Amino acid sequence: MNVLNHLTPVSGKKILVVEDEPDIRKLVHYNLAQEKYQVIEAEDGEKALRLLQREKPDLIVLDLLLPGMSGLELCRALRERPETANLPILMLTAKAGETDRVVGLELGADDYLTKPFSPREMVARVKAILRRSEMQATPAKEEVYERGPLKINFATYEVQVKGKPIRLTLKEFELLRVLVQNPNRVLNRDQLLDRVWGGETFVTPRTVDVHIRRLRKAIEKNDRKPMWILTVRGVGYKFDENAVET
């Protein structure tokens, strides 16, 4: 399941850790550096703001309880500035209170971890957030996709193959959208789950396979020998745009 994560170099992504407790700051730094992320540290919100302008990190791990400016204040400040409005934030807190969680997410944190947390869990959350933000940043989201016999209108949810309307469920359509908007790129099941099913519970990687099968049945000429939506064994699926064009 994690084959893609190992193959894809994650290096180059820069993460700012804002935490006043040196032990936790070092722990977070060490574990992210192990995953080849570039890590920078700030012990308070003021320093974080200064570093942000210069370093332009891809994600912030932000402690809620900081001396001076609190994590929530910093979070709010970041969301108000256009240049950091979409900057992914993973919030850390010592309090397990539901209100903190809600307030943190309302103020725009992307995810939330309660101390004490396992470093593995922290790294997994960071990866998931970065993956999501990468996909959202994928350019070329035109309203209408048209290649060869395949025509998709993303605004009206209409799909046609060779001029014939195709009926898809909403999930099948969303799955097709993600595949088409990331052409020729292998997407693993976790990425597809993240993107199409979001935070929904009771879905498993198996759900992806079932929907892929239905989608193939709906749009492929021969769903037993798919040409457009390809299986990449042990990894996931890939939309072959060249095959659609020829």
E strand or H helix at 205: helix 205-219
Given a contact cutoff of 8 angstroms between Cβ atoms, the answer to whether 11 and 38 are in contact is yes
Is 162 strand, coil or helix? coil
- The closest of 124, 134, 131 to 34, measured between CA atoms, is 124
Near Ca ion by CB under 5 A: residue from 65, 69, 123, 218: 65
Near Ca ion by CB under 5 A: residue from 28, 37, 58, 63: 63
Query: Is 20 or 35 the residue whose CB approaches Ca ion more closely?
Result: 20
Q: Does 27 bind Ca ion (CB under 5 A)?
A: no
Near Ca ion by CB under 5 A: residue from 5, 20, 35, 223: 20
Q: Does 174 bind Ca ion (CB under 5 A)?
A: no
Residue type, 104: G
Residue 171 CB, shortest distance to Ca ion, in Å, is 41
Q: Which residues contact 49 (CB under 8 A, 6 or more apart)?
A: 74, 77
Residue 19 CB, shortest distance to Ca ion, in Å, is 6
Q: Does 44 bind Ca ion (CB under 5 A)?
A: no
Query: Is 20 or 55 the residue whose CB approaches Ca ion more closely?
Result: 20
Q: Does 69 bind Ca ion (CB under 5 A)?
A: no
In the complex, residue closest to Ca ion by CB: 65
Question: 184: alpha, beta or left, given left = phi > 0 and alpha = psi -120 to 50?
Answer: left
Q: How many Cβ atoms are within 10 Å of 36's Cβ, its own excluded?
A: 11
Binding site residues, Ca ion, CB under 5 A? 20, 63, 65
